[in-house]
Amino acid sequence: MSFFRKKRFFAMLLLIITFTMFVFSDVFSSLLYPIHYKEEIKKHATTYNVDPLLVAAIIRVESNYKPNETSKKGALGLMQLMPETAKWINEFGRLSGSMDKVMDADFNIQMGSWYVNFLLNQYNGDMVMAVAAYNAGQGNVKKWIMNGVWDGTEKNSVQIPYGETRHFVQRVLYYYHKYYKLYGESWYTA
């Protein structure tokens, strides 16, 4: 009888070890954290000199890769662009699409990638401040920094006064780091 108990114990131990290896493997993680629209993201991120994994992380948080998503506040598409922001991007960025294409996945990613590049340039390449501005607007981020409410760092992102923006920044950075760990080498070498 004790022989069967030992055998059952080792079988369970082997099952637990196998399950743990599967759960923490990159294969399992890539199923939990997929990236859709890879070609469009890579194309436009390259065109506008933006980290493609940052664009993917913003899309994941904004729309979870649902191209026809419209928020309660009226933000549109994969990258959840407000109509007035999308219009400004299209005009200021001299993009070749019209506003009726804002829900088109490719054009939405192009507009969002251009805007992320614009924000990164505004904040001297600081990803954290650019992500905060993507959600709350440049004026709010500038005001928070100037008034000493937030220092612009990821470490102190808990100081961001808008809960939505605070959580947005934290989630985008979480997915960015997760994507970098899972896909980094293949996305930067392909």
Percent of the chain with pLDDT over 70: 91
Q: Is 62 designated active site?
A: yes
Please give the Cα distance from 81 to 91 (Å, whole number).
Answer: 14
Please give the Cα distance from 168 to 174 (Å, whole number).
Answer: 10
Return the closest-CA partner of residue 76 out of 56, 47, 55, 101.
Answer: 101
Query: Can you tell me whether residue 81 is helix, strand or coil?
Result: strand
pLDDT of residue 187: 74
pLDDT of residue 96: 76
User: Under a CB-based contact definition with an 8 Å cutoff, are residues 31 and 100 in contact?
Assistant: no
pLDDT > 60? residue 1: no
pLDDT band at 24 (very low <50, low <70, confident <90, very high): low
Please give the Cα distance from 93 to 107 (Å, whole number).
Answer: 13
Annotated catalytic residue, options 39, 40, 62, 154: 62
